[in-house]
């Protein structure tokens, strides 16, 4: 059975994370993705984090299922190639600073005239308009402006980074949603494509739950809360006798009562003032102290055995070694076996979401730089002599 995006052709002009992550997801579900990279250097992600034989192992995850074409977008020839490819593509993804594509003669108005059916995803720090549009904006800045950085860390200490480039990834996910909506609209309502404007800070802000309405109604500025969940109790990380931490979410009314049975505190279970969440929030320090006293008398494994047995949401804090060894990850095909270019085995993240009839798949490994340049350019009528000349001039 064909994959959901079989027949959809995507031109990826982004670099690093936000744009390429969106294209990765489309490729996993059947889209043909042609990735444009600068000649000689390629996508900077090829040199990020830990390298094997000169190439980031991150590249193997981020660029699987894609084709690599090298092209200097600053040259008239490179720009002409893009205009030709656009006429044969359904989707174009870019995450350059606003105005860059226009400077190359590849702005939305131009491309839409070439191919009215084109869907164009534009990811940037602040969006395509507004007073900040021209500022450089990486994920870390978007995370701060979106409100996430202020909430990260311990009370009274310097706000910390989440640990991964979550702003970029959230923007990619919003971009994928936008692409699918635009394709649906195009195919159902007259055939015209549209431009999708995704800002890093807005993608983060969209995840900020009750932050704005609480400020609007109560004037409350939510502050960092460490491992607890403000306004919902009890939910926290509690240290065990072996120095490890158990995460316990006892915030449902019935769950709370079962939790109090586990820690042998019937007085708290039967206290009417603690029957519902609003009452428990007022006494959250008292509850955390009681749970912490219990956890300090048990190892992590003992605590989890008791909590899971009572139907209480609880878990450990995983590092990547825990993830790689976890049987549930393996059973759910979230640890895929793959190989790097030289045959070195590598584990890569599995594919989500999991569709029952048309699941995503890895069709081929991440490409070498320019691996598909000749194939793609020949497909649009650029002969070998022209390609040789362009190589000598550094255009491809």
Active-site residue set: 168
Give Cα 7 to chain centroid, integer Å. Answer: 24
Do 375 and 69 form a contact (C-beta atoms < 8 A)? no
Six-digit token string for 242: 């072996």
How many CB atoms neighbour CB 386 within 10 A?
Answer: 14
- Helix intervals (H) in 2-86: 18-28, 58-62, 76-86
E strand or H helix that includes residue 33: strand 32-37
Do 347 and 334 form a contact (C-beta atoms < 8 A)? no
Do 193 and 119 form a contact (C-beta atoms < 8 A)? yes
Task: Please enumerate in sequence order all residues whose Cβ is within 8 A of that of 42, keeping only pairs 6 or more positions apart, or say none.
Answer: 68, 70, 369, 370
Q: How far apart are CA 250 and CA 313, in angstroms?
A: 7
Six-digit token string for 159: 């706000």
């Amino acid at each position: 059975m064909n994959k959901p995006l079989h027949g959809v052709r995507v031109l990826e002009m982004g670099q690093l994370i936000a744009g390429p992550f969106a294209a990765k997801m489309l490729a996993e579900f059947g889209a043909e993705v042609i990735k444009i990279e600068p000649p000689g250097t390629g996508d900077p992600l090829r040199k990020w984090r830990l390298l094997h034989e000169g190439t980031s192992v991150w590249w193997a995850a981020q660029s699987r299922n894609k084709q690599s074409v090298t092209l200097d977008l600053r040259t008239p020839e490179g720009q002409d190639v893009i205009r030709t490819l656009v006429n044969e593509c359904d989707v174009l993804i870019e995450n350059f600073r606003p105005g860059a594509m226009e400077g190359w003669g590849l702005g939305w108005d131009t491309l839409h005239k070439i191919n009215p059916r084109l869907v164009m995803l534009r990811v940037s720090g602040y969006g395509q308009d507004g007073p900040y549009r021209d500022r450089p904006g990486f994920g870390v800045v978007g995370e701060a402006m979106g409100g996430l950085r202020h909430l990260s860390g311990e009370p009274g200490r310097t706000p910390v980074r989440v640990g991964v480039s979550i702003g970029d990834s959230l923007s990619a996910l919003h971009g994928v949603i936008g692409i699918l909506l635009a394709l649906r609209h195009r195919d159902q309502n007259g055939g015209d494509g549209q431009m999708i404007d995704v800002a890093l800070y807005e993608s983060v802000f969209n995840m900020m739950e009750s932050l704005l309405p609480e400020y609007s109604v109560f004037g409350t500025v939510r502050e960092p809360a460490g491992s607890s969940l403000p306004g919902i109790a009890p939910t926290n990380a509690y240290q065990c006798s072996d120095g490890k931490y158990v995460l316990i979410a006892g915030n449902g009314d019935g769950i709370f009562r079962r939790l109090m049975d586990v820690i042998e505190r019937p007085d708290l279970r039967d206290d009417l003032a603690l029957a519902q969440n609003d009452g428990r929030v007022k006494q959250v320090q008292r509850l955390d102290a009681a749970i912490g006293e219990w956890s300090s008398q048990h190892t992590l494994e003992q605590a989890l055995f008791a909590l899971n047995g009572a139907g209480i949401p609880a878990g450990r804090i995983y590092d990547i070694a825990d993830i790689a060894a976890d049987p549930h990850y393996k059973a759910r095909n979230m640890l895929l076996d793959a190989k790097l270019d030289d045959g070195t085995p590598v584990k890569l993240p599995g594919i989500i979401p999991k569709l029952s009839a048309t699941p995503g798949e890895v069709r081929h490994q991440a490409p070498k730089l320019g691996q598909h340049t000749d194939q793609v350019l020949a497909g649009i009528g650029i002969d070998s002599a022209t390609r040789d000349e362009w190589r000598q001039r550094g255009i491809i």
